[in-house]
Structure 1
């Protein structure tokens, strides 16, 4: 990718909806197309911690503003942003990627796939907004999807990561 901002696609859903499982599978498939993909995962509850006792955790505990761990073929960066947990802070510095997959940040105004596993979640519909580009649903007992009401939004199968990856690739004209 040259000179363009990366495309962004979000994976939003209730806790336990399968966001991480599906996003990991989709990123794997999209990466096989030769695209450079970054992932930003929201930790809305502040549960993430560096593993206690690791050197990077010890440095972070000292008050270091940034800790970078570099190894063969990778680097990991932990940085205090001071600006809160906003998506804008997390996206800063991610130019040079083709696609950024965002997990969580369900209220952010980005194109997103909304995952729902139950008919009740679909009926509630509170996660669906003007930025929802597709509903990713679990089929119900009779093999159909729960009715999405009057919404004119594509429906994808939560158990079909190949289909979801193809949808994302088509949306951004990569295939």
Structure 2
């Protein structure tokens, strides 16, 4: 397994790019997993569904399974938020893990940058950013800067710059946050 993240400010287009990038990578016969960080409470089940009723009744964990898919819902409660390393360890082996968010963690990242956001780029301050997908050029950047709409070039960069899971876990668990 190899790991790379997509990092950027809210509204930069990380999810939009992921929706275009995943088919480009799976077309190359790669098995791709995604891991998304949310800054807010979220639900994957809905009121009226059995899984929701189980959680509302107090279950700390619910697994829903069918012949086509399964999902595990774990209530954190008073526990600390799961770390990126812990979540990566839970994934089923695949070829490539795309991490959305966790921009302050020490895994390799592709920055998604949009000038209209009015926020500064992340790459000058984050040595773990290995490439930038942007709607504006950064001629002074010491790393590849790819057009935000060139999904094939971004897919190639993601493949070549993703790091082995073991190296990422070592850095996350024993290294610095940058």
Q: TM-score band, normalised by the shorter chain?
A: 0.7 to 0.9
Structure 2 Cα separation of the partners of residues 89 and 157 of structure 1: 33
Structure 1 Cα separation of the partners of residues 57 and 150 of structure 2: 45
Q: Please tell me whether the aligned partners of residues 83 and 89 of structure 1 are also in contact (alpha carbons under 8 angstroms).
A: no
Residues 15-65 of structure 1, C-alpha deviations (whole Å, 9 max, x = no match): 111101111221122122222221111101224453222221221222222
Tell me by how many angstroms 1:83 deviates. 3.5
Moved more, 43-52 or 55-64: 43-52
Structure 2 Cα separation of the partners of residues 48 and 85 of structure 1: 16
Structure 2 Cα separation of the partners of residues 95 and 51 of structure 1: 25
Structure 1 Cα separation of the partners of residues 29 and 72 of structure 2: 24
Tell me the number of residue pairs that the alignment of Structure 1 and Structure 2 aligns: 159
CA distance change for structure 1 residues 79 and 92 in 2, over 3 Å: closer, same or farther? farther
Length-normalised TM-score, structure 2? 0.78
SS in 1 for 2:130: strand
Structure 2 residue aligned with 1:79, among 41, 58, 74? 74
Note if 1:125 corresponds to 2:121.
Answer: yes
Tell me by how many angstroms 1:95 deviates. 4.7
Q: Please tell me whether the aligned partners of residues 36 and 97 of structure 1 are also in contact (alpha carbons under 8 angstroms).
A: yes
Structure 2 Cα separation of the partners of residues 111 and 8 of structure 1: 7
Structure 2 residue aligned with 1:111, among 79, 96, 108? 108
Structure 1 Cα separation of the partners of residues 39 and 11 of structure 2: 14
Note if 1:147 corresponds to 2:138.
Answer: yes
Length-normalised TM-score, structure 1? 0.79
RMSD: 2.2
Tell me by how many angstroms 1:92 deviates. 2.5
Structure 2 Cα separation of the partners of residues 169 and 56 of structure 1: 37
Looking at secondary structure, tell me which structure has more helix per residue: 2
SS in 2 for 1:30: helix
